[in-house]
């Protein structure tokens, strides 16, 4: 990557959007972090100079750095104007793309970055977009030597690197992992901005095309090592966490599976089976969520239904999503815990003929998921791209976070920034 020749190491595209403002703040923090030995020239990019200026002024006030707006470049560009995207990409070593839903707005940015030699990181949780970008652009990105790394926010760095961390900490061969996400809220509850809700609405509406894309890709199945991981019931009870859980419908499973395929095919590692769940506490929460899920699945089938879902997110999601997003109080009081239960075989034991004889439990803990953990994950992924170049896959390409960063210091960076990976227990059975 031509870092030195570019005016900006990082460019936050969509900096004035809801999530983009938090990413902007996080880059501003990184710019003055105590361990930094070199300058970090960076810029914000978007359609409206005044809005970008306001975001920088807000960040300056919040961080107590009055000179911040004068230290940051401003690039005016628009998703509907390819020439302006090219101009942005020419000035950046790494573009942090915060403009979603990515199924509508993501591809022009990927294209501009590849054509102009910039790497690109996004925080997309939309499997269809992520997988389509791989099929369309992996070879072109590799030719240019640039890295296009999707799902580098809360979707799906904790899950993807959590499975790799669990494998690295097991004294033997890890064959299967179940993860359970617990979202902790303060007295005012949890809320997410409706941008995430829109992505989910359009994703569910178009799931037949995702199926088609996977069928057409005609991939060889990844071998199953050890007993096949059984799926849990749609509502199941997790004794270890003393909580009910339902399948987690985000991008994590899709991303982890793609990483495991990459590690198996390129680094000859034993693939890990994976299933993801989210804990729901009591039965009341389960019932609320089931109703929200039923509304979503019914309404996404019709054009007018999708319009209603997008127009009234708060109503149809029972308050989980809103056009205003969470308050600062809600953000400050929230956190997440992602617990991994893994099983496998001690060294020298054959997975073909015996039962798994090692269990391991690990955790990734962090602050509020969408607007604190996501910016941290995204910015640290970008810093890893800039600083750990020799540990990245040799050629560029389109990668999952686990495929791109499995040999880098990203987990250490996250640990230092409040997203903590730890081993809870490990035992031979």
Q: Please write the tens of the pLDDT for every residue from 10-37.
A: 999 999 999 999 999 999 999 998 777 6
pLDDT of the residue at 35: 75
Provide the mean pLDDT of the chain: 93
State the average pLDDT over residues 234-259. Answer: 93
In contact, 130 and 148? CB cutoff 8 Å:
no
Which two tokens mark 155? 């979707």
Pairwise CA distance, residues 411 & 15, whole Å? 25
Q: Beta strand 236-238 with 335-346: parallel, antiparallel or unpaired?
A: unpaired
Structure confidence at residue 429 as a pLDDT band (50, 70, 90) = low
State the average pLDDT over residues 232-236. Answer: 91
State the average pLDDT over residues 305-317. Answer: 89
Q: Give the range among 82-91, 249-258, 283-292, 301-310 with minimum mean pLDDT.
A: 283-292
| pLDDT digit string, tens, across residues 40-80 | 999 999 999 999 999 999 999 999 999 999 999 999 999 99
Q: Give the range among 69-83, 249-263, 305-319 with minimum mean pLDDT.
A: 305-319
In contact, 134 and 214? CB cutoff 8 Å:
no
State the average pLDDT over residues 177-189. Answer: 94
Beta pairing partners, 238: 243
Structure confidence at residue 2 as a pLDDT band (50, 70, 90) = low
pLDDT of the residue at 125: 93
In contact, 119 and 6? CB cutoff 8 Å:
no
Question: For the chain, first and last CA: distance in Å?
Answer: 47
Pairwise CA distance, residues 95 & 9, whole Å? 8
- Please, how many CA atoms are within 13 Å of residue 249, restricted to the half-sphere of its CB? 15
State the average pLDDT over residues 304-317. Answer: 89
pLDDT of the residue at 317: 82
DSSP letter for 225, please.
P
| pLDDT digit string, tens, across residues 400-427 | 999 999 999 999 999 999 999 999 998 8
pLDDT of the residue at 114: 98
Structure confidence at residue 175 as a pLDDT band (50, 70, 90) = very high
Q: Mutual orientation of helices 303-311 and 194-205 as an angle, nearest 10°?
A: 170
């Amino acid at each position: 990557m031509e870092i030195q020749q570019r005016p900006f190491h990082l460019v936050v595209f969509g900096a004035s959007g809801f999530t983009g403002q938090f990413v902007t703040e996080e880059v501003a923090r990184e710019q003055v972090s105590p361990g930094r030995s070199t300058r970090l020239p960076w810029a914000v990019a978007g359609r409206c100079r005044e809005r970008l200026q306001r975001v920088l002024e807000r960040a300056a006030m919040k961080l107590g750095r009055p000179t911040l707006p004068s230290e940051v470049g401003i690039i005016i560009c628009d998703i509907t104007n390819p020439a302006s995207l090219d101009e942005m990409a020419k000035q950046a070593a790494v573009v942090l793309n915060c403009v979603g839903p990515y199924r509508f707005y993501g591809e022009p940015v990927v294209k501009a970055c590849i054509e102009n030699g910039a790497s690109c990181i996004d925080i997309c949780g939309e499997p269809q977009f992520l997988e389509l970008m791989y099929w369309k652009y992996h070879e072109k990105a590799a030719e240019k030597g640039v890295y296009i790394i999707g799902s580098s926010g809360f979707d799906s760095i904790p899950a993807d690197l959590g499975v790799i961390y669990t494998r690295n900490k097991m004294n033997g061969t890890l064959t299967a992992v179940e993860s359970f996400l617990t979202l902790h809220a303060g007295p005012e509850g949890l809320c997410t901005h409706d941008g995430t809700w829109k992505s989910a609405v359009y994703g569910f509406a178009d799931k037949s095309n995702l199926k088609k894309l996977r069928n057409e890709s005609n991939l060889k199945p990844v071998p199953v090592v050890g007993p096949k991981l059984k799926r849990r019931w749609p509502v199941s009870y997790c004794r270890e966490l003393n909580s009910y859980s339902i399948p987690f419908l985000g991008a994590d499973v899709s991303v982890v599976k793609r990483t495991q395929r990459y590690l198996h095919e390129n680094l000859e590692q034993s693939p890990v089976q994976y299933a993801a769940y989210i804990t729901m506490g009591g039965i009341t929460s389960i019932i609320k969520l089931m109703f929200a899920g039923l509304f979503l699945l019914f309404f996404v089938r019709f054009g007018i239904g999708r319009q209603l879902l997008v127009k009234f997110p708060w109503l149809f999601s029972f308050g989980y999503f809103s056009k205003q997003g969470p308050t600062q109080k809600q953000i400050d009081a929230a956190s997440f815990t992602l617990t991994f239960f893994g099983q496998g075989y001690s060294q020298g034991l054959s997975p073909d003929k015996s039962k798994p004889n090692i269990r391991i439990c690990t955790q990734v803990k962090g602050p509020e998921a969408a607007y604190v953990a996501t910016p941290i994950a995204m910015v640290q992924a970008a810093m890893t791209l800039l600083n750990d170049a020799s540990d990245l896959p040799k050629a560029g390409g389109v990668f999952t976070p686990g495929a791109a960063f499995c040999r880098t210091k990203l987990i250490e960076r996250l640990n230092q920034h409040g997203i903590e990976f730890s081993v809870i227990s490990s035992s031979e059975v």
